[in-house]
Structure 1
């Protein structure tokens, strides 16, 4: 019977590409949120004119409040319990379900909508993230930063793929928004546009399912029957308990991760950058509508921004394979801080200048998503890197809490919300630039090797002792 064999290299490339597609789909929530926010606020104001951008923007931090928790659970509980592949299926199913839940809750309170179309999709994003990185790394272990960058670049490409699509679904005729004189913000008042908002969510759910289905078939982990994996299989067959895997992951986190200062630095760095990234994505279009009411033009800019984000995620994580984390990320965050400090003034002075700066922000702002995991895999090699990634990802909860405070404080009654908004983002990013200078490159690896060496010595002594005791018992008289 004819049987077609696919080479490991081709299978690895297919796995990385599938991971790219999966990340592109789950990343569409962040990519679309800023584009969807004006449509959502305009739709909700039909029934309640008190709804503001600040109030509707809580959908993003509402989901973010638990995102770090799910990141930790994914690496330390879900993956050890059911395996990375089932974990990936669970995350993709939840994400496909989220726009359907959003459709059902669209006419309900903003708080119920925040759970259905905020908590559910963002939680599922974190469940999906670690398995896609683990699978890609397993095929190309010597190029961790590069393959992780390729996978996570999919999240950046979301803007390019989905912003024009969403704009077409909601506003295909490019009907312009109108300025709300009493609020200073801009809204859509065309009933044609508003009526298309609910169905656009159902279309997104269908598109997600179509893209997920083939990707899940080829996004798998490479398994080699080496001496080590045979020993692991023998050990696993004896243990027959997933609880041992979970315990082992937490022991690694406690004995190695929590004793390494880089975990704390990367944890704080991620908090600062997760505060900045989703903040700019949630408000970029709200600010852009003050400069231009051409919806199609703005969606085009957002789509092009996705290309810049894709390149940025790949480039900066690949650079970490050649240079140090502090060299790459300190320069990146410093440039981004200058960008935020200038964007408000340049925006009102020159719309083309604003376009340049917003695209530069897209290029820089989300590179940490792939750079931080790549650095963790460099510092903590081995099967337990997932639990460290999850622990650092717990910082997302604190970052989204900061986004919630920023949104509620600056966009409810503030006469100059965007000026203060960009100044705050610039200061936060500058702090991240300083923090990145303290990340070392090898201390964690040395600690791991030392711990593993000590563990092997103890196991060897125990084995010798057991052998000696066994022989002694045999020589005893009956």
Structure 2
């Protein structure tokens, strides 16, 4: 009896891979999207046992974990993927991320900074590069759109998980109360506080189901390779790691765009992640309707999703400088105005916070897409990882910002907070003007070049006749 084989057209498999990458990014991005929503609940829960706990101290949880994000981004691209392959790297990251809320539940009263700070952020960076590589392998001529689609999942996580988390913790929409002269609000109802720990377990269950289903279809497109390449595949994994670092040294470190994009990412992660930490804390000063704010956060996720896809797609038609200079300038103006507009009009605040969600996180799509445009080929992952190392410095800046502004006795901390974010974003605007759209590769004599359109052929095909191209 012959077995029935199910044949899926390659294009459909590619679409399924991109969608699976979207779902994976939606899940691992939930930590960032949920942090601002979770912060008031976490602070209120911990104040039961320690009345000195403040928003500034609890907000440090995100940057404390974020300090490792750049490290794991670099390790993922330069060590883990060459050593065990992108698929195993992806599975490992998904498993660790699913485990993180369980660890957070167990350590809620003690070492939560590590268990629910370092662990999920590290896992998220481990899976980031494989999802991009897999998706782009199916559609190599539309990298901007593909990266935008995959990374849009991280933005969409707010739409899915903020209402879910609010329902798990505060289904009755019990309002918070103001308890001190600073105006900060806290939840005092035991009905809310008692649900905080168990909400983490429910999230772990949802994460596990979504990630397992996505891993089944998130695969790389397999190309036919000749005997020479097959022999190369059998070489030492450590040799692959060495090759990756040599490529980083000989190509990445000698290209100015790597340093510019590195600094650009620091500025943008500082602004974007900062707004995630404090958006709800500030919103509760304007409205005590927790359910309404969760809806706004959910809608913000849709704008976040749109922004990641939109700016990724725009990079396929326009230059990085054209797209990102406009984006960063508008965002800098948004941050400079949002505090005063918020107290003048809640509707105006909603418009500006949604605009910030649209613009703040587009760099997650734009930067990898630009890197892959400049460094096509199998070693693009190590360059993405090196640029992503800047996230650690960005989260260090967030740590300092929260520690300085929200743990002292500053009368209007959010005024300073939004001005600082505006300054960081304007610095990113200035950096965009120095990013080129192409680079050249010199031969050993440094007197001939390979044009941009032949760079990908040169790195992807060891048999490509460079000398013939140079003539």
TM-score (structure 2 length as normaliser) = 0.94
Structure 2 match to 1:10: 12
Q: Is the 8 A contact 2:376 2:455 kept in 1?
A: no
Structure 2 match to 1:321: 316
CA deviation string 1:153-180 (max 9, x = no partner) = 0000000000000000000000001112
Separation in 2 of the partners of 1:198 and 1:368? 33
Structure 1 match to 2:48: 46
Structure 1 match to 2:232: 235
Structure 1 match to 2:298: 303
**Cα–Cα, structure 1 residues 10 and 35, in superposed 2: closer, same or farther, change >3 Å?**
same
Structure 2 match to 1:119: 118
User: Shift in Å at residue 114 of structure 1?
Assistant: 0.6
User: Shift in Å at residue 183 of structure 1?
Assistant: 3.6
**1:17-28, aligned counterparts within 5 Å?**
17-28=19-30
**1:66-215, aligned counterparts within 5 Å?**
66-108=68-110, 112-215=111-214
Separation in 1 of the partners of 2:464 and 2:311? 41
CA deviation string 1:52-106 (max 9, x = no partner) = 0000011100111111000000000000000000000110011001000100111
Separation in 1 of the partners of 2:182 and 2:228? 66
Aligned counterpart for 2:364 among listed residues 369, 381, 390: 369
Structure 2 match to 1:394: 389
CA deviation string 1:120-167 (max 9, x = no partner) = 000001000000000000000000010110000000000000000000
Q: Is the 8 A contact 2:458 2:466 kept in 1?
A: no
Task: State yes or no: 1:405 paired with 2:410.
Answer: no
Separation in 1 of the partners of 2:60 and 2:440? 37
Separation in 1 of the partners of 2:464 and 2:288? 69
CA deviation string 1:165-209 (max 9, x = no partner) = 000000000000111223420100001000000000000000000
- Helix, strand or coil at the partner of 2:200: helix
- Helix, strand or coil at the partner of 1:443: coil
- Helix, strand or coil at the partner of 1:218: coil
Q: Which runs of 5+ in 2 are unaligned?
A: 442-449
User: Shift in Å at residue 451 of structure 1?
Assistant: 11
Structure 1 match to 2:445: none
Task: State yes or no: 1:415 paired with 2:411.
Answer: yes
Separation in 1 of the partners of 2:170 and 2:71? 36
Aligned residues: 454
User: Shift in Å at residue 236 of structure 1?
Assistant: 2.2
Separation in 2 of the partners of 1:440 and 1:262? 7
Task: State yes or no: 1:349 paired with 2:351.
Answer: no
Larger radius of gyration between Structure 1 and Structure 2? 1
User: Shift in Å at residue 276 of structure 1?
Assistant: 0.5
User: Shift in Å at residue 447 of structure 1?
Assistant: 7.9
Structure 1 match to 2:430: 434
**Cα–Cα, structure 1 residues 191 and 458, in superposed 2: closer, same or farther, change >3 Å?**
closer
RMSD of the TM alignment (CA)?
1.9
- Helix, strand or coil at the partner of 2:288: coil
Aligned counterpart for 1:378 among listed residues 363, 373, 384: 373
Separation in 1 of the partners of 2:35 and 2:440? 37
- Helix, strand or coil at the partner of 1:189: coil
CA deviation string 1:342-380 (max 9, x = no partner) = 000000000000000000000000000011000000000
Separation in 2 of the partners of 1:209 and 1:306? 21
Separation in 2 of the partners of 1:233 and 1:159? 43
Which stretch of structure 1 is more off in the superposition, 174-183 or 205-214?
Answer: 174-183
Task: State yes or no: 1:283 paired with 2:271.
Answer: no
User: Shift in Å at residue 452 of structure 1?
Assistant: 8.6
Query: Which structure is higher in helix share?
Result: 1
CA deviation string 1:384-422 (max 9, x = no partner) = 000000000000000000000000000012211100000
Separation in 2 of the partners of 1:457 and 1:223? 19
Q: Is the 8 A contact 1:256 1:447 kept in 2?
A: no
Structure 2 match to 1:63: 65
Q: Which runs of 5+ in 1 are unaligned?
A: 462-478
**Cα–Cα, structure 1 residues 174 and 218, in superposed 2: closer, same or farther, change >3 Å?**
same
Task: State yes or no: 1:294 paired with 2:289.
Answer: yes
- Helix, strand or coil at the partner of 1:205: helix
Q: Is the 8 A contact 1:379 1:444 kept in 2?
A: no
Q: Is the 8 A contact 1:262 1:444 kept in 2?
A: no
